[in-house]
Amino acid sequence: MSPKIFLTGATGYIGGDILYALLKAHPDYEYAILVRNSDKGALVAASYPKVRLVYGSLDDAAILETEASKADVVLHTADSSDHLGAAKAIANGLAKGHTAENPGYWLHISGTGILCWKDQETQILGEAPHQQPYNDLEGVSTLTSLPDKAWHREVDKLVLCSASASVKTAIVCPPTVYGPGRGPDNVRSRQVYGLAKITLEKGQAPILGKGLTEWDHVHVYDLANLLVLLVDAAVASRKGENKDIDKEIWGENGYFLAENGHHVWGEVSQWVADAAYEQGYIKTTEVKPMDISDEQGLTWGLNSKGIAKRAKKFLGWVPTGKSLRDEIPDIVSSEAEILGLKVGYGEKVAGMN
C-alpha cells in the first residue's frame, strides 16, 4: 500500500513548497491535506486534484486526531511552532492510531527564533553574538533542553515528549527562509521580505541598533528537500530499513537545524538598500536605525546562530539553492510589485530616463 501522508499548512509558504516537492518526488503516495475553508481547498485542488482535502482548523482537535491516527507520516507546518492545541491533538492521534509494530512518524516544523532566548533575556538589540553557535550533531542535547522561556519551546517540548516506540518524531528548525515558494497560495516569506517592504515604504533601509546581529538562512527549495528526505527515511524505517541510523533521526536525537549559510542583519539591510536604489525605488543607499515594534522586525535585532550537521551526515542533505544575497534583487522587485511601485520611482532611474 502507498504511504499515507497528512499535511497541515499546504496554503502557507513552507507547507506549500513541501507539498510541491513531495508530490513531485512521490506522486503515488496518498495525501490528506488540511484546509480551513472551500476557498483554500479550491486553490489546493486546482494544483493537486488527486489529494484528499480535510476541512478544518488547528482548533479542530477531533479532526486532527483522526487524521493523525490514520496517517503513516504527519507533516505539521501550519503555525506549528506555537499552536499548542494542534500539537496536542496530533500527538494524541498518532499515539491512538499506532503501535511499536506499526509506528507513526511526526515531522514537525519549529523555528530558530528559539535560539534567540539569551538576547531576549538581555533586551539588547543589534549587538554581535556573545556565544558560540549551536549545532545539531554534537550539541543536539543542548537544543532539546533549551530554557522554557525561549520562543517555540513549549511546543518543542511536547513533540519531544511524545516520542515513543509507536510515535517517531523529528523536529526541523529552519532559520530565515527565502526564495519564491512553489505552493498553491502564499509564495513569499517574512523576514527579508518584510525588510524589503519597509525599505520601499520608508525610502530607506532599516537596521536595529548597530545592525551586528547574525542569523542563519536557507532557501525554501532546500528546506522542502530536507523534508522529502525525512519522509523517505520514515517510509524506509516503516519497512524495517535504516535500523543503523534510526536513533540518529528520530526521538531525542531527531532535531535538525536547517541552514545553508549565515548573514549579518545590517549587511542584509545594505544589500536591500543597494538593490532598491539600483532598481530606482529609493533615493539613497544609506541604512538608518529605526524602531521596529512587531515581532518579525524584532528578530533583525536578535542573534540566532546554529550549524546544520545532522541532516547532511545521516540523510545526505546537500543544499543547492540560490544564495540569499543573489536572491535579494528579486525579493525587492517582488515587494515593489506588490506595493504597486513603478520602475523609475527613485531619483536614480528617473534621472536616466
Q: Do residues 265 and 305 make contact, with C-beta atoms less than 8 angstroms apart? A: no
pLDDT of residue 344: 62
Whole-number mean pLDDT of the chain?
Answer: 95
Residue 13 clears pLDDT 60, i.e. is over it: yes
Domain boundaries defined on the chain = 4-352
Rounded to whole angstroms, how far apart are CA atoms 351 and 353? 6
Q: What is the pLDDT of residue 262?
A: 98
Q: What is the pLDDT of residues 106-123, one digit of tens each?
A: 999 999 999 999 999 988
pTM value?
A: 0.96
pLDDT band at 1 (very low <50, low <70, confident <90, very high): confident
Q: 33 pairs with which residues across the strands?
A: 7, 53
Cα separations (Å) of 130 from 4, 140, 214?
A: 45, 20, 11
pLDDT score at 346: 53
- Encode pLDDT of 285-321 as tens digits: 999 998 877 766 789 999 999 999 999 999 999 999 9
Sheet of 52-55, strand order: 52-55, 30-35, 4-8, 73-76, 104-109, 167-173, 255-257
Q: Which range among 91-100, 209-218, 254-263, 293-302 shows the weakest confidence by mean pLDDT? A: 293-302
Q: Which CATH class is domain 4-352?
A: alpha beta
pLDDT of residue 353 exceeding 50 = no
Which pLDDT tens digit goes with each residue over 58-89? 999 999 999 999 999 999 999 999 999 999 99
Instruction: Answer whether residue 93 shows pLDDT above 90.
Output: yes
Report the relative pairing of strands 214-219 and 167-173 from DSSP bridges: unpaired
Quote the crossing angle between the two packed helices 61-70 and 84-97, to the nearest 10°: 40
List, for residues 195-231, the tens digit of each pLDDT value. 999 999 999 999 999 999 999 999 999 999 999 999 9
Name the burial class of residue 99, with classes exposed (0-12), middle (13-18) and buried (19+) by CB atoms within 10 angstroms of its CB. exposed
pLDDT at 351: 38
pLDDT tier at 348, thresholds 50, 70, 90: very low
* pLDDT at residue 147 greater than cutoff 60: yes
- By the 10 Å C-beta count (0-12 exposed, 13-18 middle, 19+ buried), 245 is classed as middle
